[in-house]
Amino acid sequence: MSTTHDVINPATEEVVTTLDLVGVEETDAAIAKAVEVGPAWRAVSPADRGMLLRRFADVVEEHTEELARLEVTNAGHTIGNARWEAGNVVNVLRYYSAAPERLFGRQIPVAGGLDVTFKEPLGVVSVIVPWNFPMPIAGWGFAPALAAGNTVVLKPAELTPLTAIRLGELALQAGLPEGVFTILPGKGSVVGERFVTHPDVRKVCFTGSTAVGQGIMRKAADQLKRVTLELGGKSANIVFADADVEKAAASAPMSFLDNAGQDCCARTRILVQRKVYDAFMERFEAAIRAVRVGDPGDESTEMGPMVSSGQRDTVRSFVEDAEATGHAAPDIAFRGAAPSGKGWWYPPTVLMAHGTGDRAWREEIFGPVVSVMPFDDEADAIAKANDTAYGLSGSIWTRDVGRAIRVSRAVEAGNLSVNSHSSVRYSTPFGGFKASGIGRELGPDALDAFTETKNVFFDTQA
Ligand code: NAD
């Protein structure tokens, strides 16, 4: 049964296009095709597979502006961010285009023969993408998976399928054989579920909410299917009194407002050492009020709308509608501006946490809302930072090198930055501790997640 989905521009609420959603039969057909073309793709020589991925990167690069504009329209991303996101796909493809020729095994000394290991492709790999970073997250899955010799079926999020569909077309244009990389826009409960239950899909590479990720892992156990899970976050931004407080306060807004706060790495819990709390808040307020929220297609815009009315309702349930949903009303310290009228706008909002039990302090909001709390000393900061189910990202601001090292080793998170808010580089590993996920993407070791190690012993005595 075919169903349709209206893709809506979050800044205008206008219907951009209506898509036919893929059902189980088409999903099964795409998986069957991916199985069929697998041996030929795997047999492409390493140099040629690398060359095809570089060609794919070149074609994506030629279409950067088109892809970026598509993301502005589909997801409400600012044009600056959207260009970076398309560029990230190019960079990730180029980075992993070097991998086929470097998929090294090992030669291990043993008695009586020669022992070597091979990195074998898994077969058909599925990639399930959320709506918040449709292009980069797709690329972090498909680029290393293809480089390792797998075929890929990819499901974009229902809300944001357009750039993924275009990337699928560009792959064919670049010369990737039909069926090696197939985009299947459809529902999570249909296409996503089928990826998990289909016996020919050997791996699920999932990015999304912790609850859905847990469900996928449970079901994947039936077939001992490999999973990589990149899930939610509630990251801490820790500002010590010995830091450059001015710089910490000036940079804090975009550490949680980037992509309208719909960022798994958003630093949504700010911990400030009590001695500099007032000084920090004064500068932070000025910086929040200066953030330019508006038309995402305008070059000077820093923050666009929320992706959907549903996501904005979720954010409101933590702030305006907290009492209506049975929670204590939060203490709003100050807010930035946002357009009114059509579009799913929400203003940058800063809450003063009452305590670590606050719902807004504990739960991932996935919107432009941050909570701030003072701390006393290093031990208190570490305890508060780690008092969360999540462990994805975080920042530490201090001029004391010893403290920077101690605290970055003590915070339980996969991606930390000291005196900055950087999280993701295609050449370094990315992923979460605790409820933020399992496995790592990107960086030099990502190929391990898309291959099986095979050990072969050759008897030289025979
Ligand atoms: P979501 O879990 O609702 O959906 C993610 C994807 O999974 C979508 O494509 C969806 O269609 C699909 N899906 C839904 N139900 C499924 C099922 N039963 N089986 C298989 N697939 C299913 O998440 P979302 O709302 O799209 O994205 C926001 C979440 O993603 C946030 O929690 C955020 O923190 C997280 N996220 C994490 C990272 C990271 O790298 N750690 C990056 C971006 C987003």
Residue 207 Cβ inside 6 Å of ligand 1? The answer reads yes
Atom of ligand 1 nearest to the CA of 230: 41
| Inter-residue contact 214 to 198 (CB < 8 Å) | no
Percent of the chain whose pLDDT exceeds 90: 98
pLDDT for position 423: 74
Mean pLDDT of 130-149: 98
What Cα–Cα distance (Å) separates residue 388 from each residue in 223, 385, 433, 436, 458?
Answer: 31, 7, 11, 10, 50
- In the set 26, 71, 193, 230, the catalytic residue is 230
pLDDT for position 422: 84
CA torsion angle 331 302 427 143 (round to 10): 110
Asked whether residue 462 carries a pLDDT value surpassing 80, the answer given is no
Domain definitions of the chain by residue range? 3-231+436-459, 236-424
| Inter-residue contact 238 to 385 (CB < 8 Å) | yes
pLDDT for position 265: 97
CA 213 to centroid of ligand 1, rounded, Å: 7
C-alpha–C-alpha distance, residues 318 and 149, integer Å: 45
Q: Give the pTM.
A: 0.97
pLDDT for position 367: 98
Let me know if 211 is exposed, middle or buried by CB neighbors in 10 A (0-12, 13-18, 19+): exposed
List pLDDT tens digits, range 329-384: 999 999 999 999 999 999 999 999 989 999 999 999 999 999 999 999 999 999 99
Q: State the CB neighbour count (10 A cutoff) for residue 57.
A: 23
For residue 151, what are the β-bridge partners? 124
- Our mutation pick for probing the ligand 1 site, out of 132, 218, 315, 442, counting the most ligand atoms within 8 A of Cβ, is 132
C-alpha–C-alpha distance, residues 199 and 35, integer Å: 11
Tell the residue nearest (CA) to atom 15 of ligand 1. Answer: 188
pLDDT for position 325: 86
Residue 129 Cβ inside 6 Å of ligand 1? The answer reads yes
Name which CATH class applies to 236-424.
Answer: alpha beta
| Residue 411: closest CA among 424, 395, 423, 425 | 395
Mean pLDDT of 100-120: 97
C-alpha–C-alpha distance, residues 191 and 370, integer Å: 34
List pLDDT tens digits, range 221-261: 999 999 999 999 999 999 999 999 999 999 999 999 999 99
Q: pLDDT band at 135, cuts 50/70/90?
A: very high
Q: State the CB neighbour count (10 A cutoff) for residue 212.
A: 18
Mean pLDDT of 291-305: 98
Q: Radius of gyration over alpha carbons of the chain, in Å?
A: 23
Residue 132 Cβ inside 6 Å of ligand 1? The answer reads yes
Residue 430's φ and ψ, nearest 5 degrees, are -135, 130
**Architecture of the domain whose range is 3-231+436-459:** 3-Layer(aba) Sandwich (3.40)
Residue 189 Cβ inside 6 Å of ligand 1? The answer reads yes
Residue 158 Cβ inside 6 Å of ligand 1? The answer reads yes
Asked whether residue 268 carries a pLDDT value surpassing 80, the answer given is yes
Let me know if 122 is exposed, middle or buried by CB neighbors in 10 A (0-12, 13-18, 19+): buried
| Inter-residue contact 186 to 3 (CB < 8 Å) | no
- Our mutation pick for probing the ligand 1 site, out of 88, 155, 209, counting the most ligand atoms within 8 A of Cβ, is 209
For residue 52, what are the β-bridge partners? none
Task: Give the number of residues written for the chain.
Answer: 462
Residues whose CB is less than 8 angstroms from the CB of residue 67 and which lie 6 or more positions away in sequence, other chains included: 60, 82, 85, 86, 89, 135, 163, 166, 167
Q: pLDDT band at 1, cuts 50/70/90?
A: low
Active site residue 302: no
C-alpha–C-alpha distance, residues 52 and 58, integer Å: 10
Query: Looking up tokens 């940058």, which residue turns up?
Result: 348
List pLDDT tens digits, range 36-95: 999 999 999 999 999 999 999 999 999 999 999 999 999 999 999 999 999 999 999 999
Query: Looking up tokens 């409820």, which residue turns up?
Result: 435
Mapping DSSP onto H, E and C, the string for the chain reads: CCEEEEEECCCCCCEEEEEEECCHHHHHHHHHHHHHHHHHHHHCCHHHHHHHHHHHHHHHHHCHHHHHHHHHHHHCCCHHHHHHHHHHHHHHHHHHHCCHHHCCCCEECCCCEEEEEEEEECCEEEEECCCCCHHHHHHHHHHHHHHCCCEEEEECCCCCCHHHHHHHHHHHHCCCCCCCEEECCCCHHHHHHHHHHCCCEEEEEEECCHHHHHHHHHHHHHHCCEEEEECCCCCEEEECCCCCHHHHHHHHHHHHHHHHHCCCCCCCEEEEEHHHHHHHHHHHHHHHHCCCECCCCCCCCCECCCCCHHHHHHHHHHCCCCHHHCCCCCEEEEECCCCCCCCCCCCCEEEECCCCCCHHHHCCCCCCEEEEEEECCHHHHHHHHHCCCCCCEEEEECCCHHHHHHHHHHCCCCEEEECCCCCCCCCCCECCCHHHEECCECCCCHHHHHEEEEEEEEECCC
List pLDDT tens digits, range 181-227: 999 999 999 999 999 999 999 999 999 999 999 999 999 999 999 99
Q: pLDDT band at 2, cuts 50/70/90?
A: low
Residue 230 Cβ inside 6 Å of ligand 1? The answer reads yes
Q: pLDDT band at 100, cuts 50/70/90?
A: very high
Residues whose CB is less than 8 angstroms from the CB of residue 398 and which lie 6 or more positions away in sequence, other chains included: 240, 242, 243, 404, 407, 418, 419
| Residue 350: closest CA among 415, 280, 413 | 280
Atom of ligand 1 nearest to the CA of 215: 18
What mean pLDDT, rounded, does the chain reach?
Answer: 97
pLDDT for position 264: 96
Query: Looking up tokens 């589909």, which residue turns up?
Result: 74
